[in-house]
Chains A and B, each alone.
Chain A
């Protein structure tokens, strides 16, 4: 009985806070799911820094890397604290509506521990690669789970789903992703016939060099899942190659290019134009066959979450003239 009272106390606190944040409807949904899954009182989450006991349904979540923020929103929970984004600072445009009033806790590399503690979260989502050093502090503030990397979005969804007591939503997200991938894999050979599977290269231009993002990068791993293949000369076991001379343009060669960059930076734009106006560029298969597509750098490289992955998939569908399934 006392336990029940305690719990209901917590719920009423929680719904007040949601009213304050004017997301009553969403809050209502939370309560419904929370009550439904009240049986899942305590869960043990195994993660890269050990195992963490999470009880109840965490509602005050602090996310310490971009992919975790994306995933929390996708799971229907607005975090109570997030870190600054890499570009489009301080928040990626696609998340701005959802995260309008959410306080920031600093940079992904050094989030402010005092600010996090002040938010009194009941769950923190971190990444081993970035936050191993402060894991001890974080777990004193609240139960903390740590993902191994910052861009394995499927892992992030599954683990956050479990920790946040939203396994159903997480499974639904992953299932929908699986379905979409399957749909693409099924329809693209019909569309392209003999041409499939295509060789793909993800290119990125910076102010004084160009990069090829390889298999192990965020975008690269998704393209793998979709069935794209890589040119044989692209290095293995790396996530990026940095090219400093235009003489290397032939190494980029592939059937299709997806190009992303920080478009509002004039130096980047200028460098992009120089590379793409080079005679060697015009000798590349993708360039000759007009298979060079500009894509959104946030979705393709910076988001690291399931929403970003889906946006990226939308763009792939679009470029091949297919209607995406939702």
Chain B
């Protein structure tokens, strides 16, 4: 028998066996290695040992500015964004009981995009661009609420949620296109960058704005991990087990929206992370939320960090939005996964 490690506090109770722990440990080490590589890579390759020294020593060295001001916040933001999207996708997939769900497919990201493009097209002349993240979060929240209300009919079923979300994606996409085609000021370029998703120019302010969301929402979702596991069994079972299905669903959905919304607000409409990361996680750790969530978080974070590192080094001096490479790396892999899973 596997030894079980049980983390049990008054609110959280997660069981992890030693295999899972080893896997999570490996992932964590992998993440740190990727982060270090990403900190070393750039317009100029820095020796990783130098980078570590720079990070650990309090005295600023020769490359302090490049490492600590330019690269580090970007790596951290990328990791947080990817992790938030991945966990958001994991929750949605459990909730909807379908491996193809993710924040960008069921409309959360589209709502944020429409709001962001509206901001860029009609408000950018009068309002500071620093308000853009708020517009995006507002858009995501509003859209999700609309999806939820439209899907309500004596309760919300996952199926209706997903179908209505997909319908809204098309409608919101059309509105976004409309604004880009006919906006009175020249914004199409900024809009395209936003829609592709980019963590270019991230600073510590972004990190401090993004971090609280994750610090609150991740433990919260772990607290709910038992109900999430139950949710996956389907309506008849969940009702039988006495879980207050509708209320839990609403809370889970809200967590998922808040995670995706805050990530998208700071990075633009990066796609596919929420879809792929949980899939990869399922190949590596057992299918319980308590072990899937940290694994997805790490994988999603790495995905965005890697994509962004490619984006800012592959075509120097161009700094290509990370979203391009997330899809480029993620999409073929996703198709392969689906193929393998269903063979």
List residues of A whose CB falls within 8 A of some B CB: 84, 103-115, 117-118, 129-130, 132-134, 136-137, 140-141, 237-240, 242
Contact = CB atoms under 8 A, between A and B. Distances in A.
Given A115-B43, A137-B203, A242-B181, A110 B198 contact: yes
B14 to A, nearest CB: 39
Contacts of B43: 112, 114-115, 118
Contacts of A111: 317, 319
Interface stretch (B87-95, B186-194, B292-300): B186-194
Contacts of B189: 108-109
A86 B20 CA distance: 51
Given A132-B129, A137-B70, A112 B203 contact: no
Nearest to A209: B181
B129 A137 contact: no
Nearest to A103: B317
Contacts of A115: 43, 316-317
A269 B140 CA distance: 42
Contacts of B130: 132-133
- 10 closest A-B pairs (Cβ-Cβ)? A134-B201, A114-B43, A132-B129, A110-B319, A106-B317, A112-B317, A115-B317, A115-B43, A112-B319, A238-B184
B42 interface: yes
B128 A105 contact: no
Contacts of B319: 106-107, 110-113
Contacts of B65: 117, 140-141
B316 A137 contact: no
Contacts of B200: 110, 134
B47 interface: no
A42 to B, nearest CB: 23
A117 to B, nearest CB: 6
Contacts of A107: 318-319
A121 B41 CA distance: 22
Contacts of B44: 114, 118
Contact of A114 (B66, B186, B193): B66
A132 B128 contact: yes
B185 interface: yes
Given A107-B319, A109-B193, A112-B312, A136 B203 contact: yes
Given A137-B70, A239-B185, 13 more contacts: A106-B317, A106-B318, A107-B318, A107-B319, A108-B189, A109-B193, A110-B200, A113-B319, A115-B43, A117-B70, A129-B124, A137-B69, A242-B181
B206 to A, nearest CB: 9
A237 B184 contact: yes
B165 interface: no
Interface residues of B, number: 32
B146 to A, nearest CB: 29
Contacts of B241: none
B49 interface: no
Contacts of A110: 193, 198, 200-201, 318-321
Main SS at interface, chain B = loop
Given A112-B316, A137-B201, A117 B66 contact: yes
Nearest to B73: A137
13 contacts: A84-B318, A109-B193, A110-B320, A111-B317, A114-B44, A115-B316, A117-B66, A129-B124, A132-B129, A132-B130, A134-B200, A136-B203, A239-B184
A239 B186 contact: yes
Interface string B166-206: 00000000000000011011100110010000101101010
Interface in B285-334: 312, 316-321
B317 A105 contact: yes
Given A103-B317, A118-B44, A113 B201 contact: yes
B130 to A, nearest CB: 7
A237 B205 CA distance: 35
Contact of A133 (B129, B181, B186): B129
Contacts of B186: 239-240
A133 B317 contact: no
A146 B132 CA distance: 19
A125 B65 CA distance: 20
Which residue, A84, A104, A110, has most C-beta atoms of chain B within 10 A?
Answer: A110
B183 to A, nearest CB: 10
Contacts of A106: 317-319
Contacts of B42: 114
B201 A133 contact: yes
Nearest to B315: A106
Contacts of B181: 242
B267 to A, nearest CB: 12
A140 B204 CA distance: 13
A107 B316 CA distance: 10
Nearest to A237: B184
Contacts of A84: 318
B150 to A, nearest CB: 33
